[in-house]
């Protein structure tokens, strides 16, 4: 079971406690974060032409923070998070960036009307923390829950026949249990203990409190703004209007709040010009210019469920296709201007075959140049499979990883069809032609066949890990595998990763390994240009390896589900995400039968 932080809004600003002198004409960078933050830069959207904003990705945010840290004209950063949805590893990465900014004598401001544990973990690393006088701080600790769907399947007369390789491999449990197994509960408790300890320690260090004090504050839980100030969790209380006055007092009445710092300007349609549309498309065509040949570090993303075929964006979420990622790795390996590769992994896994295809591409790329892995919130099961051959693996302390194991099986649907009044008649040639027949569970002979195939997949998985980690592993692979899940902190102690750090750290390390000091970052494959997408659609052109896999989207053909899921997402985004993963897992089970995936994901509230 994998905890991840719930997502809540925070708004950032700090204004008190700085030196009293006024610095005329200073620049403060304003960064506004809204909703979920994707890891990779998203494709260009048509709304940009009408003045809309491109969603801010973690990749782009880190680039801006790195730039402003080195900019002598910038005195600080004001981060405004509008219902921001951040995972634990993302929060820890941004904490590290805040600390680097402060070390470079930049002011980091955090202001909030309302804060939850994850948001406060981020805010506590700022120079100052300010709340409105009527604000509230919910320092409620960690709460995780996993959804189990057996009773739902029972209602529609469907039975899951699931086989696990690894006692701790709990990915299939939601399909046939109403609660966690002993092993699953044991590792979830261990995981939450690790992450809770990290939160207490990091907040204590940032706020200069003892760990016992922070633990007591978590037990109290709910603080008014006044109580939070008395507990030394926040520094001062003020409304936004007072904040604006304090900004002017600190930086001078003519200070500049830069809202588009480091933002690449996209083309827009000038509606006052009758030829504005043609001008717009002319600007879009410029995006197809030849790529730079300057030294670069390539960043390749595996940031969703791993599937065979092409990466896709669908209504049920994105997928990381093995064909797309394999080709991206090959392209980076063949490009002499690419000096090193950073594989950014934020995935709970998926298809065993697709994971091995990506892993093999990494193995071949390593022969040409350094391959550094950076783990995000989750790099478990197939996510660890694709990571394990990296030359060096970075993870955040709160990253969820490991889960070296295999799960497979099938759904038995005969009861549902009988219930609906649908009958069937079977025909076959070959003793095992109906081994995946959904009218019945596996018999003993078939179960042995499936288990034998799964053991082969499991053995290859373990061999890949041993080949990649070698003597770094702290113990025998059997004791580390079995589906056991680790926090990044525990993974480091067991030799499953090499260093604690984020994407920015991995990129710098890759540059050092490649012995380059001046380089550009290049995302491969490059985010699609709107003009390219339009032309390809009109001309019927397809990308290389153009095999589409949209896991879970077929479930949206059902009008009740199509209408219900958006409502659930608005009222309870945590459970909506669990339902999405459940539907994707059903699709994977139907298409491949064997998975390396960790899908039981309790969220932290």
Q: Give backbone dihedrals phi and psi of 141, rounded to 5 degrees, phi first.
A: 80, -150
User: Looking at 205, 236, 258, which one is the last position of a domain?
Assistant: 258
Coil, strand, or helix at residue 230? helix
Beta strands 27-36 and 74-85 are parallel
Does residue 393 belong to any structural domain of this protein?
yes
- Predicted local distance difference test score (pLDDT) of residue 24: 46
Domain count, the chain: 2
Does residue 499 belong to any structural domain of this protein?
yes
> In terms of domains, do 497 and 589 share one?
yes
Does residue 291 belong to any structural domain of this protein?
no
User: Looking at 212, 238, 258, which one is the last position of a domain?
Assistant: 258
Does residue 478 belong to any structural domain of this protein?
yes
> In terms of domains, do 304 and 438 share one?
yes
Mean pLDDT split into 10-residue runs, the chain, 605 residues: 38 38 68 84 59 76 93 89 84 96 94 87 91 92 86 93 91 92 93 94 95 93 95 92 84 85 62 51 53 88 90 69 95 96 95 94 97 96 96 97 93 90 90 90 94 94 96 95 95 97 96 95 81 53 48 52 56 63 68 64 46
- Predicted local distance difference test score (pLDDT) of residue 365: 97
Does residue 290 belong to any structural domain of this protein?
no
> In terms of domains, do 507 and 392 share one?
yes
Q: How far apart are the first and last CA of the chain?
A: 15
Q: Could you give the count of Cα atoms lying within 13 Å of 312 in the half-sphere of its Cβ? A: 17
Cα Rg of the chain (Å, integer): 25
Does residue 324 belong to any structural domain of this protein?
yes
> In terms of domains, do 422 and 563 share one?
yes
> In terms of domains, do 108 and 253 share one?
yes
> In terms of domains, do 395 and 495 share one?
yes
From the list 556, 330, 377, 370, the residue with the least C-alpha distance to 6 is 377
User: Looking at 230, 258, 286, which one is the last position of a domain?
Assistant: 258
> Three-class SS string for 477-534?
HHHHCCCCEEEHHHHHHCCCCCEECCHHHHHHHHHHHHCCCCCEEEECCCCCCHHHHH
Does residue 18 belong to any structural domain of this protein?
yes
Does residue 153 belong to any structural domain of this protein?
no
Q: Please report where in the chains the tokens 């140049």 appear, as a residue.
A: 369
Record the tokens describing residue 348, joined without a space.
């709970």
Contact in structure between 116 and 37 (CB atoms under 8 Å):
no
Q: Please report where in the chains the tokens 């992994």 appear, as a residue.
A: 345
- Predicted local distance difference test score (pLDDT) of residue 547: 41
Q: Which domain range does residue 235 map to?
A: 4-140+221-258
Q: Give backbone dihedrals phi and psi of 136, rounded to 5 degrees, phi first.
A: -135, 145
> In terms of domains, do 229 and 352 share one?
no
- Predicted local distance difference test score (pLDDT) of residue 62: 94
From the list 389, 349, 354, 358, the residue with the least C-alpha distance to 373 is 389
> In terms of domains, do 444 and 577 share one?
yes
Instruction: Give this prediction's pTM.
Output: 0.86
> In terms of domains, do 106 and 246 share one?
yes
> In terms of domains, do 231 and 334 share one?
no
DSSP annotation of 254 reads T
- The burial of 454, by beta-carbon neighbours within 10 Å (0-12 exposed, 13-18 middle, 19 or more buried), is given as buried
Which residues have a Cβ under 8 Å from the Cβ of 420 and sit 6 or more positions away? none
Q: What is the CATH number of the domain that holds 362?
A: 3.90.226.10
Gap between the Cα atoms of 269 and 130, Å rounded: 40
> In terms of domains, do 250 and 326 share one?
no
> In terms of domains, do 340 and 429 share one?
yes
From the list 424, 411, 403, 408, the residue with the least C-alpha distance to 481 is 403
DSSP 3-state percent helix, strand, coil across the chain (nearest 5):
40, 20, 35
Q: How many CB atoms lie within 10 A of CB 109?
A: 27
């Amino acid at each position: 079971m994998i905890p991840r932080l719930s997502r809540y809004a925070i708004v950032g600003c700090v204004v008190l406690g700085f030196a009293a002198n006024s610095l005329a004409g200073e620049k403060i960078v304003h960064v506004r974060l809204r909703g979920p933050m994707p890891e990779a830069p998203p494709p260009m959207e048509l709304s940009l032409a009408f003045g809309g904003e491109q969603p801010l990705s973690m990749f782009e945010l880190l680039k801006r923070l790195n730039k402003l840290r080195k900019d002598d004209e910038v005195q600080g950063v004001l981060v405004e998070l509008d219902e921001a949805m951040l995972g634990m590893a993302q929060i820890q990465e941004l904490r590290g960036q805040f600390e680097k900014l402060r070390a470079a004598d930049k002011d980091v401001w955090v202001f909030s009307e309302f804060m939850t544990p994850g948001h406060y973990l981020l805010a506590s690393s700022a120079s100052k923390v300010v709340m409105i006088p009527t604000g509230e701080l919910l320092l409620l600790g960690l709460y995780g829950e996993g959804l189990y769907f057996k009773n739902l399947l029972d209602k529609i007369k469907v039975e899951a026949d699931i086989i696990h390789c690894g006692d701790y491999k709990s990915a299939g449990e939601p399909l046939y249990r109403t609660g966690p197994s002993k092993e699953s509960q044991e590792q979830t408790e261990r995981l939450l203990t690790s992450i809770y300890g990290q939160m207490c320690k990091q907040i204590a260090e940032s706020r200069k409190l003892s760990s016992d004090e922070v633990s007591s504050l978590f037990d109290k839980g709910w603080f008014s703004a006044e109580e939070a100030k008395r507990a030394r969790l926040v520094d001062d209380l003020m409304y936004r209007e007072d904040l604006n006055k304090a900004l002017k007092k600190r930086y001078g009445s003519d200070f500049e709040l830069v809202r588009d710092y480091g933002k690449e300007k996209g083309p827009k349609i000038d509606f006052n010009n009758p030829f504005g549309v043609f001008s717009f498309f002319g600007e879009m065509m410029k995006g197809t210019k030849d790529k730079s040949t300057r030294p670069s570090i390539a960043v390749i993303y595996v940031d969703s469920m791993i599937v065979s075929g092409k990466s896709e964006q669908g209504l049920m979420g994105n997928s990381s296709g093995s064909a797309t990622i394999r080709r991206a790795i090959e392209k980076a390996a063949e490009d002499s201007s690419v000096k090193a590769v950073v594989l950014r992994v934020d995935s709970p896994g998926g298809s065993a075959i697709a994971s091995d295809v990506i892993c093999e591409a990494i193995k071949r790329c390593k022969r040409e140049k350094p391959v550094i892995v950076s783990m995000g919130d989750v790099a478990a099961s197939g996510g660890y499979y694709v990571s394990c051959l990296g030359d060096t693996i970075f993870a955040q302390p709160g990253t969820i990883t490991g889960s070296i194991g295999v799960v497979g099986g099938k759904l038995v649907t005969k009861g549902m069809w009988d219930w609906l009044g649908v009958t069937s008649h079977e025909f076959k040639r070959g003793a095992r032609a109906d081994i995946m027949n959904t009218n019945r569970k596996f018999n003993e002979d078939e179960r042995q066949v499936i288990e034998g195939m799964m053991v082969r997949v499991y053995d290859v998985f373990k061999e890949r890990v041993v080949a990649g980690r070698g003597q770094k592993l702290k113990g025998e692979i059997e004791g580390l595998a079995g589906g056991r899940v680790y926090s990044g902190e525990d993974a480091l102690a067991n030799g499953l990763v090499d260093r604690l750090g984020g994407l920015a750290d991995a990129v710098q390390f890759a540059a050092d390994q490649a012995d380059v000091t001046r380089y550009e970052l290049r995302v491969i494959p490059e985010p699609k240009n709107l003009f390219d997408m339009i032309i390809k659609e009109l001309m019927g052109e397809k990308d290389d390896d153009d095999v589409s896999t949209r896991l879970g989207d077929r479930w949206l053909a059902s009008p009740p589900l199509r209408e219900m899921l958006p409502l659930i997402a608005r009222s309870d985004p945590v459970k909506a995400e669990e339902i999405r993963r459940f539907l994707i897992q059903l699709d994977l089970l139907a298409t491949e039968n064997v998975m390396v995936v960790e899908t039981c994901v309790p969220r932290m509230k």
